[in-house]
């Protein structure tokens, strides 16, 4: 996976921010550690960033910091979420989940009607894939099981969810910090979903 | 944290505990705690060992303490010596004795008047240091204020305002000066406003950069202002 890199100096120039701001955002975990890529250049060590991602992130921070404090922003970007708890009806009202998917989820997961963030994430992913018609209900059950079994990995790492189908047999897997994945011929990759993006989508819906 | 109804753990003399949740924890003799501790106040006056993580509101080490795991405390004070195997998270960190941390340190305010050794990164809003420190990773703080008494090292320093000063030596200090290295050594310093003395750095980047006496800098890159003392060596300076 090769992406275009941008040096720290150019980044500060383009985004119009100062060293102080960049380091403060890094401290607040607004910019993930993995984006700081060290490389040696002829002037010594320099730090580079994945250009597209960092510019998009800085853009987001700059537009949102007017009405949110840095700590609130940090909550928004960080994968391990605070003690957020919502009722079933709240999720439906906020358009995170439709009623049908919610009922299906509750059928399979005999939990209480209070949702913490991992459960919100599960139901949101389910909603997304079911509504787009990419998976059917049985596959939805499989998906939920994968998400539940690996809940502790999802919290820490940047995960990607991959759904494949071959000769009508479907399979669902979770990739942790992977660069690329290859499948045998004839496999149809139904969908890949970055969980980080899902979390950010949920959070922007919640705020 | 509701801690009022919990019991206290007090070890005077030689003793061991299996850890758990307490209100007050005091280790006065040779106390050993064999797993995680959760308490509102932790105090170690003798020689204490905790073979797990500590979560506390305030933690104070006046004797000699060693922690295997991670410490999370609103306030953490070291007057004696403390050794922490993993990370340290605190709002206020004050070290007047000697502290060494194997992992990283995250705090809002760090006040150092002794010796601090950190294996990985150190993050704080304000970092005030007098005497000596060694940081294996990046020192990242909004305000970095360093007064050098001895040998200070950090791999990189980044922040908004970075000020490094030489301690105005006492009489004894001037006599023994040749034996001590009073210097800050680092690869890279980046900040908006930078003022340096007695510093060895390969690269310094900032908006306003002032290089004071006894500095040895490889490259200075600045955007607004640059000044250099006549007793400083700067390999190259360029306006970006």
CA distance B164 to B35: 41
Q: Of the residues A46, A77, A108, which one is the last residue of a structural domain?
A: A77
Task: Give the pLDDT confidence score for residue A81 in this predicted structure.
Answer: 54
Name the closest residue on chain B to residue A17, using Cα atoms: B192
Q: Closest Cα partner for A98 from A161, A106, A110?
A: A106
Asked if residue A70 and residue A89 are part of one domain, the reply reads: no
B141 three-class SS? strand
Shortest distance, CA A9 to any CA of chain B (angstroms): 9
Overall average pLDDT of the A186-192 stretch = 83
Name the closest residue on chain B to residue A10, using Cα atoms: B240
CA distance B142 to A70: 14
Overall average pLDDT of the B106-125 stretch = 91
- Answer yes or no: is B128 within a domain: yes
What's the pLDDT band for B81 if we cut at 50, 70, 90? very high
Give A70 or A127, the one with higher predicted confidence.
A127
Q: What is the pLDDT of residues B13-44, one digit of tens each?
A: 898 888 888 888 999 889 899 988 888 999 99
Residues near A34 by beta carbon (within 8 Å), at least 6 away in sequence? A158
Task: Give the pLDDT confidence score for residue A56 in this predicted structure.
Answer: 83
Overall average pLDDT of the A156-172 stretch = 81
Q: A36-59 in b/e burial notation, b at 16+ Cβ within 10 A?
A: eeeeeeeeeebbbbbbeebeebbe
Q: What is the pLDDT of residues B187-224, one digit of tens each?
A: 889 999 999 888 899 889 888 999 988 888 988 888 88
Q: Of the residues A77, A96, A111, which one is the last residue of a structural domain?
A: A77
Query: Is it the case that residue B117 has pLDDT exceeding 90?
Result: yes
Of B188, B191, B203, the CB nearest to A20: B191
Give A193 or B96, the one with higher predicted confidence.
B96
- Answer yes or no: is B97 within a domain: no
What's the pLDDT band for B118 if we cut at 50, 70, 90? very high
Do residues B233 and B217 make contact, with C-beta atoms less than 8 angstroms apart? Answer: yes
Answer whether A19 sits within 8 Å of B123, measured CB to CB.
no
Write out the residue range of the structural domain in which residue B50 sits. 1-89
Of B190, B202, B203, the CB nearest to A19: B190
Answer whether A24 sits within 8 Å of B202, measured CB to CB.
no
Structural domain total, chain A? 2
To probe the interface with B, which of A19, A38, A45 has the most B CB atoms within 10 Å?
A19
Asked if residue B125 and residue B32 are part of one domain, the reply reads: no
Overall average pLDDT of the A168-188 stretch = 82
Query: Is it the case that residue B113 has pLDDT exceeding 80?
Result: yes
Which domain CATH number covers A116? Answer: 1.10.1660
* A-to-B residue pairs, Cβ atoms closer than 8 angstroms: 51
Asked if residue A169 and residue A90 are part of one domain, the reply reads: yes
Q: What is the pLDDT of residues B158-194, one digit of tens each?
A: 989 999 888 776 665 566 655 667 888 998 899 999 9
Do residues A161 and A181 make contact, with C-beta atoms less than 8 angstroms apart? Answer: no
Task: Give the pLDDT confidence score for residue A84 in this predicted structure.
Answer: 64
Percent share of chain A, pLDDT over 70: 87
Q: What is the pLDDT of residues A98-134, one digit of tens each?
A: 877 777 777 777 666 777 777 777 888 888 888 887 8
Answer whether B191 sits within 8 Å of A19, measured CB to CB.
yes
Asked if residue B180 and residue B119 are part of one domain, the reply reads: yes
Task: Give the pLDDT confidence score for residue A198 in this predicted structure.
Answer: 79
Overall average pLDDT of the B114-123 stretch = 91
Task: Give the pLDDT confidence score for residue B179 in this predicted structure.
Answer: 62
Overall average pLDDT of the B88-108 stretch = 91
A44–B contact, CB cutoff 8 A: yes
Task: Give the pLDDT confidence score for residue A145 in this predicted structure.
Answer: 82
Which residues in chain B are contacts of A24 at CB distance < 8 A? Answer: 142, 160
Shortest distance, CA B91 to any CA of chain A (angstroms): 14
Asked if residue B60 and residue B121 are part of one domain, the reply reads: no
SS3 percent helix, strand, coil of chain B, rounded to 5, is: 5, 70, 25
Overall average pLDDT of the A141-158 stretch = 75
Could you tell me the pTM of the whole model?
A: 0.68
- If you average pLDDT over every residue of chain B, what do you get? 87
Which residues in chain A are contacts of B238 at CB distance < 8 A? Answer: none
Asked if residue B34 and residue B58 are part of one domain, the reply reads: yes
Structural domain total, chain B? 2
Name the closest residue on chain A to residue B193, using Cα atoms: A20
Residues near A112 by beta carbon (within 8 Å), at least 6 away in sequence? none
Task: Map B48-74 to HEC letters.
Answer: EEECCCEEEEEEEECCEEEECCCEEEE
Report, in angstroms and rounded to the nearest whole number, the Rg of chain B calculated over CA atoms.
20
Q: What is the pLDDT of residues A37-69, one digit of tens each?
A: 888 777 667 788 888 888 888 888 887 777 777
Asked if residue B144 and residue B227 are part of one domain, the reply reads: yes
Answer whether B140 sits within 8 Å of A27, measured CB to CB.
yes
Answer whether B160 sits within 8 Å of A43, measured CB to CB.
no
- Could you report the predicted ipTM of this complex, rounded to two decimals? 0.81
Asked if residue A92 and residue A168 are part of one domain, the reply reads: yes
Task: Give the pLDDT confidence score for residue B78 in this predicted structure.
Answer: 92
Q: Of the residues A22, A52, A77, which one is the last residue of a structural domain?
A: A77
- Answer yes or no: is B95 within a domain: no
Tell me the range of A79-93, A149-163, B89-103 where mean pLDDT is highest: B89-103
Query: Is it the case that residue B10 has pLDDT exceeding 80?
Result: yes
Any idea which of A158-162, B107-111, B119-123, B201-205 has the lowest mean pLDDT?
A158-162
């Amino acid at each position: 996976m090769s992406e275009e890199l941008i040096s720290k100096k150019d980044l500060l120039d383009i985004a119009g921010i100062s060293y102080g701001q960049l380091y403060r955002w890094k401290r607040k975990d607004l910019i993930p550690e993995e984006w700081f890529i060290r490389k040696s250049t002829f002037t010594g060590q320099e730090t580079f960033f994945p250009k597209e991602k960092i510019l998009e992130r800085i853009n987001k921070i700059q537009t949102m910091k007017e009405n949110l404090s840095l700590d609130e922003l940090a909550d928004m970007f960080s994968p391990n979420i605070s003690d957020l708890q919502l009722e079933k009806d709240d999720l439906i009202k906020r358009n995170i989940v439709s009623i049908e998917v919610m009922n299906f989820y509750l059928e399979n997961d005999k939990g209480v009607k209070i949702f913490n963030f991992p459960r919100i994430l599960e139901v949101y992913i389910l909603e997304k894939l079911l509504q787009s018609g990419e998976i059917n209900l049985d596959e939805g059950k499989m998906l939920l099981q994968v998400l539940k079994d690996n809940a502790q990995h999802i919290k820490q790492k940047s995960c990607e969810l991959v759904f494949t189908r071959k000769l009508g047999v479907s399979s669902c897997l979770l990739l942790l910090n992977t660069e690329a994945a290859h499948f045998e011929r004839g496999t149809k990759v139904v969908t890949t979903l970055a969980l980080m993006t899902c979390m950010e989508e949920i959070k922007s819906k919640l705020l | 944290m509701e801690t009022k109804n919990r019991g206290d753990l007090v070890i005077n003399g030689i003793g061991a505990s299996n850890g758990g949740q307490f209100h007050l924890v005091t280790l006065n003799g040779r106390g050993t705690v064999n797993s995680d501790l959760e308490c509102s106040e932790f105090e170690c006056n003798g020689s204490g060992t905790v073979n797990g993580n500590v979560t506390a509101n305030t933690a104070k080490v006046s004797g000699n303490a060693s922690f295997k795991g991670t410490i999370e405390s609103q306030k953490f004070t070291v007057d004696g010596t403390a050794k922490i195997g993993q990370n340290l998270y605190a709002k206020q960190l004050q070290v007047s004795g000697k502290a060494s941390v194997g992992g990283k340190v995250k705090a809002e305010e760090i006040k150092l008047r002794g010796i601090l050794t950190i294996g990985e990164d150190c993050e704080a809003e304000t970092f005030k240091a007098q005497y000596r420190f060694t940081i294996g990773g990046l020192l990242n703080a909004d305000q970095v204020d360093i007064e050098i008494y001895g040998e200070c090292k950090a791999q990189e320093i980044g922040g908004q305002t970075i000020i490094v000063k030489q301690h105005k030596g006492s009489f004894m200090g001037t006599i023994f000066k040749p034996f001590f290295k009073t210097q800050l050594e680092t690869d890279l310093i980046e900040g908006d406003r930078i003022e340096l003395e007695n510093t060895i750095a390969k690269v310094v980047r900032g908006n306003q950069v002032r290089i004071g006496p006894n500095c040895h800098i490889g490259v200075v890159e600045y955007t607004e202002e640059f000044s250099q003392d006549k007793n400083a060596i700067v390999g190259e300076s360029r306006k970006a």
